[in-house]
Chain A
Amino acid sequence: MARRKVLLAPMDPVHDVGLKLVQRALDAAGHSTLRLPPDLSAEEIVSRAIEYQPDTVLVGRTLGYNVPEVLARLVDLMEAAGMRSRVRLGVGGMAIRPELAAELGYDRGFGPGTSPEEALAFVEGREPQPPAAAQTLEKPDLTAGYGYLAKDREVATSLEAIATAAVAWGKARTSPGVERARLRRRLLAAEAGAGAGDGRVPESAEALRRAYVRECDPPIRAFYEGTGPVGKTRPLSPDEIAALAAAADPGGFERRRVRHLQTRPRVFVQYGTGCPVMDSAHNRVAEAWGADGLVHFDPSWAARTEGLIEGHHSHEEDGTLLTLANLRSIGRARLSGTLWQVRAHRGLNTPEIVVLAAAAGADLTKVNPVYGSLGAGTDPERLVVDGVECLSLAAAAGLPLDVVTNEELCGVPAGKAFAGMLIIAAMAVHLGGRPILQPLFCLSPDVMVTGRMDDNFVDYNMAKVMALRQLYDAPIWPGAPIGFLTHTEDRVQSATSTALHAAIAVSLEVDAITIASADEAYSGGSIAAASRVDTLLATAEAFRFLGSAKVAPTPRAREWADELVAQIKDTLRRILERPSLVDALYAGVLGSPADGVYPGRAGRGTVRLR
């Protein structure tokens, strides 16, 4: 690279910080620079340029008045001095827009937010290089480094006893959901021309599909028999499917950096507009603005229907249908470094969803039979049986899973919800899996009643993480989304609330967070892509604001953490007094009608002994 001679001239009374930064970059790159003092006239700048004979002149302008007149005068004088044709001329600053610079005769205009690298690239006559951190994103293992050991002897003993018994209980039983998952695995193997992994010849896909359909509810059967569509769905058109295929990772895509100095937490966003094409477009927006991970949302009715349809389909309402074709297309459209979670936590198709998630290349899944049976309407017995199968399938596929505690949103106190979460985590570990704890950062009904957030939103949220860390060595991924029930329809309030909860999360050095869009509280229509940008920008700002500093709770957080530990232990003791985990769920030990939850009914009576 030839050494350049650059004259830098601030055309303001005082503002020259931007040019100082540019000069530093030019000097570091080995160029010769001369920075003039502020507040010189255009005539004085040209006079100095005649003396210095630069290759490039960079001028700065921050103040917004008389900008066209001042800048045009400089161009005119340079032309009059015979310099303009041999000197490259750039202008930057808060008052500059590239369109204005071009109109006034400058070779380049640099607006607000320009990096020194961009100015350096202009001087050197090349394209700017994106920052190294923005070019690539390593896909991390959120569970790396955790031992999954209970740190408290009583909790360790209780979890071992409850989890061992629950796994054995579940493995002794089956359900239509379990059977469909097994049929789906065989079907996928048959369609791939392979055996089911047991050395046998490939089976007949048609026969397997017929067996699958026999285990489905009538609307799903009607789909396979070609006698009717399912709900408000329609098949994607060929051009929509082609657009999905074309949305694959283009390579070299530049993401905005969401974290500042921190390596954690990874930031997940949720998608599920109903349309896989729109989802992929929204996901690309989220990735561009720094999201590390994507979480698939499916329709709530699908969780209450036995069986899943096949093919590419759009859904008119919220939630994108879980089909292998939809998942594969959405998954392929994500950037290579993006983590992807497909949830299997609450309904009648949970084991099969894990099969599909693994087949589609998902990185994570989500399982919690306790929440699903108390807060999402599925029968406890059924969901424990299906949950054991889910955990086994996830472990076999190497899929880490988060254990969500959304029953807290229904009114269950956090201590009870955490006991359920730790049991499912222990069951996952028992089956060889890698669970991630998902406490909620939320203004829950229980918190409202007890007034624990009357003063601030910091202490109780931090207490949750402190309590879990006191008891169990596992990754923590607050969600979902953080700040649940604190958001309003105002986008500034909503994004700010997300950012402040993200500030708590980064202070606690948790492994991941899920954030809402700024449309979190808006229920009148689908989320707009711009609202996803709002919260990602706000979260990035919180991370930048804090850097390595931290939000500090008051002493109440420690007291509440101790209280949560006591609640968790008490709940575990009460479960041990019952014949089984399933019995404890029906009896309300992990959440009762008084708390606001009821054992679900979907799938009741469908469990049978193997």
Chain B
Amino acid sequence: MRAVDRVLDAIDLETVLLAEDERSARRLAFQLAKELGLTDADIVALEWRANMARVRVRGYIHRPGHHYTWLGQTAR
């Protein structure tokens, strides 16, 4: 089993991106998620100041109701 199959629901990426404006920062955040293989991604939080953006991008591995690869292995 891959480690990603043990992710309960989502992976959050938190970092600071260098970006000239908020719009660019949002675009870069989605691009970063895609580059890291997170195809079902959304920006949870983004604050842009002075050519930098503090960002939290979420990649959903398992959305509620989908088939969970960890099914039957809930924490004991």
Interface residues of A (CB under 8 A from B): 234, 239-240, 242-243, 246-247, 250, 253, 273-275, 277-282, 284-285, 288, 314-316, 488-491, 519, 522, 524-526, 528-530
Contacts and interface: CB of A to CB of B under 8 A. Distances in A.
Interface string B38-76: 000011111100000010101010111100100110111
Nearest to B40: A525
B64 A491 contact: no
23 contacts: A239-B72, A243-B71, A243-B74, A247-B74, A253-B76, A277-B68, A278-B68, A280-B74, A281-B8, A281-B9, A282-B8, A282-B9, A314-B64, A489-B44, A489-B45, A489-B46, A490-B56, A519-B44, A522-B45, A526-B64, A528-B12, A529-B9, A530-B12
A278 B74 contact: no
Nearest to B47: A490
Contacts of B19: none
Contact of B65 (A280, A314, A491, A522): A314
Contacts of A250: 76
Given A489-B45, A491-B56, A281 B63 contact: no
Nearest to B66: A275
B8 A525 contact: no
Given A243-B71, A489-B44, 7 more contacts: A239-B72, A250-B76, A274-B65, A278-B9, A281-B75, A525-B60, A526-B60
A277 B76 contact: no
Given A281-B8, A285-B8, A246 B64 contact: no
A239 B71 contact: yes
B8 A274 contact: no
Interface residues of B, number: 24
Contacts of A246: 72, 74
Interface string B1-43: 0000000111010000000000000000000000000000011
B33 to A, nearest CB: 13
Given A275-B64, A275-B65, A278-B64, A525 B71 contact: no
Contacts of A314: 64-65
B42 A240 contact: no
B45 A488 contact: yes
Contacts of A284: 74-75
Name which of B46, B54, B64, B72 has the most chain A CB atoms within 10 A of its CB.
Answer: B64
Contacts of B71: 239-240, 243, 277
B10 A528 contact: yes
Contacts of A274: 64-65
The 7 closest A-B pairs by CB, nearest first: A273-B64, A489-B45, A275-B64, A314-B65, A278-B64, A528-B10, A275-B65
Nearest to A240: B71
A524 B43 contact: yes
Contacts of B74: 243, 246-247, 280-281, 284
Contact of B8 (A247, A491, A529): A529
Contacts of A234: 65
B49 to A, nearest CB: 13
Nearest to A529: B8
Contact of B75 (A278, A285, A491, A530): A285
Contacts of A530: 10, 12
A184 B43 CA distance: 44
B1 to A, nearest CB: 16
Nearest to B43: A524
A239 B10 CA distance: 22
Contacts of A524: 42-44
B65 A316 contact: yes
Contacts of A315: 65
A524 B58 CA distance: 10
A525 B58 contact: yes
Contacts of A490: 45, 47, 54, 56
A284 B64 CA distance: 15
Contacts of A529: 8-9
A510 to B, nearest CB: 30
Contacts of A528: 9-10, 12, 58
A320 to B, nearest CB: 9
Contacts of B9: 278, 281-282, 526, 528-529
Nearest to A284: B75
Name which of A280, A316, A526 has the most chain B CB atoms within 10 A of its CB.
Answer: A526
B61 to A, nearest CB: 10
B14 to A, nearest CB: 8
Contact of B72 (A243, A279, A526): A243
Nearest to A246: B72
A524 B56 CA distance: 13
B30 to A, nearest CB: 12
Given A275-B65, A490-B45, A242 B72 contact: yes
A401 B74 CA distance: 30
